[in-house]
Chains A and B, each alone.
Chain A
Amino acid sequence: MSDPTLRIVFPADAAELRDVRHRIAAWAAPYLSASDVEDLKLAVTEACANAVQHSGTQEIRVTISLDGSCVEVVVEDDGVYQMHLSGVAGDPGAHRGLILMAAMVDDLSLQRGTEKRTGTRVRLVKCPA
C-alpha cells in the first residue's frame, strides 16, 4: 500500500485554516468516526491558530499520517511559542485554546520554539474508538 501521508504547507494566515481543516478531515475520514474527525479538526485548528496569532512564523507545515491504527497530525512552524498568550489579565479564557486542543485528542505533545531555538512542533494523535 502506498504511503498516504499528506503534507500541507501554507502561509500563516487565519483565512487558510478553514481549508486546512477540511483537507485534514477528508484525509482522516476513512480511519476515524465522524465525531472523532470533528475533534481532530478542532485540535488542528487550535494548533495552527496558535502559530498564526502568537508565534511570528511566516509559514505553517501540517503533516497527517497513520501511526498504527491512529491518525497522527504534526503542526510545525518557525516561530517562538508564547507562554504568555493573549495576556488578558483576569480573562479565564486566555488559555482555553490549549486546553480544548488537549481535550480533543488522545495524545498531545508540544515542543516549543524559543528565542534560542525557533520552531514549534505540536503532535496530535487521534485513535479510533
Chain B
Amino acid sequence: MSDEAVRVELTDGLQGAKLSGELDIAVYEKLTAELAPLFEATGDLILDLSDVAFVDSSTIRLFVRLQQSRKDTGSVVLLRPQPHVARVLAVSGVGELGMRVQDQT
C-alpha cells in the first residue's frame, strides 16, 4: 500500500537509476532489493531524484551504503533533487560522505 507509488528504473550499464515516489522505511527493503545490482558495479552511479517527493534517514542510509559499495572507484551522484530533498541531503552531509548533488549531468 505505502509503496504503491515507489518506482525504480535501472539504466543501461548499471550506472544509474531513476527513483520515484516517497522513500521511507516502509520501502527501504524494496528499494535495496531493486537496487541490488548497482552494489556490484563500480564507477560513478547516477541516481535521478527528480520524481522523489520525500526522503528520510533510511533513504540516506541506503545512499551511504551505495557510496561505500563504490570502494573509491567513483561517487554516487544525486541528480536534480526537489528543494526539500536537497535540504535533507545537505543537512545529512552527503557531500562529506563522498557523494555529489547535481542539477544536471
Which residues of A line the B interface, CB within 8 A? Answer: 14-19, 21, 35, 38-39, 41-42, 45-46, 49, 52-53, 91-93, 96-97, 100, 103-104
Contact = CB atoms under 8 A, between A and B. Distances in A.
A42 B26 contact: no
B57 A100 contact: yes
B57 A14 contact: no
B102 interface: no
6 contacts: A14-B24, A18-B22, A19-B2, A49-B24, A49-B25, A93-B60
Nearest to B61: A93
Among B25, B54, B61, B97, max chain A CB count under 10 A is at B25
Contact of A100 (B1, B22, B88): B88
Tier of interface size on chain B? 20 to 34
A125 B55 CA distance: 20
Interface string B12-42: 0000000000101110000000000000000
Nearest to B4: A18
B50 interface: no
A96 B64 CA distance: 11
Contacts of B91: 100, 103-104
Given A46-B56, A93-B64, A100-B57, A14 B84 contact: no
Closest 3 CB pairs of A and B: A97-B57, A14-B26, A38-B84
Nearest to A95: B57
Contacts of B26: 14-15, 17-18
A97 B56 contact: yes
Contacts of A16: 2
B64 A100 contact: no
Contacts of B64: 91-93
Nearest to B85: A38
Nearest to B60: A96
